Amino acid sequence: MKGLLIKNGANALTALRIIGTPVALFVTNTLLDRNQDTELFKFFAFLYILICFSDFFDGKVARKYGIVSRFGTVFDLIADFCFVVFMHLVIMIHGIIPAWFMIVIIDRFFNFIITSKIETDCTNQRFKPKFDKAGKYIAAAMYILPFIISAEYCFLDQGLFISKLFLYGITGISIVTSILRILTVKSFFVPKVDKLK
């Protein structure tokens, strides 16, 4: 029984994120409509921490107990994509952040998946996400940005000075790291071209 719980623990944490995302979207939408609702913000903060907790620990549990699987990896990526994209979409619909930022988010995910896939194919490995340090920080920043925006919009400054700093910082660093990932993947094709000659 304990072994079964451990085996499914990582995926259960990821599932928690999938289940929690629609609730978080509804609460975020309501919070942005009501504005300065302290009690609702407390629930929003609790829910947000729970979702971030699930993202932080699902991979750690899988690695610690040696239960990393292809399904778990893809499931985690889908959960992250849904949460990050839809949270920003709710905020965008309220006119709080510009629509072009959605392109930055989607580019980040697809660039990560495609370059990881190409790299693993070139090295004859099974698909495994290829993380880079800057990319991890950007992913974390994209995760917490909706919380920062919601808190600042509702309680601090609707001019969103802090949120805009994050938004433009994420955009700039994301563009640079996306180009670097493409260049890294491009280098995998060079030896193959040389061998043909």
Residue 53 lies in a domain: yes
Range of the domain at 170: 2-188
* pLDDT number for residue 193: 45
Phi/psi at 157 (5° precision): -145, 120
**74: domain CATH number?**
1.20.120.1760
In total, how many domains does the chain have?
1
Residue 196 lies in a domain: no
Residue 139 lies in a domain: yes
Reported as a pLDDT band with limits 50, 70 and 90, residue 189 is: low
Residue 195 lies in a domain: no
Residue 194 lies in a domain: no
pLDDT tens digits, residue range 55-81? Answer: 888 877 777 777 777 788 888 889 999
Asked if residue 14 lies in contact with residue 51, where contact means CB atoms within 8 angstroms, the answer is no
Residue 159 lies in a domain: yes
Report DSSP state, residue 127.
-
Q: What percent of the chain has pLDDT over 70?
A: 86
Residue 193 lies in a domain: no
Residue 165 lies in a domain: yes
pTM: 0.84
Which burial class, exposed, middle or buried, applies to 60 when counting CB atoms under 10 A from its CB (0-12, 13-18, 19+)? exposed
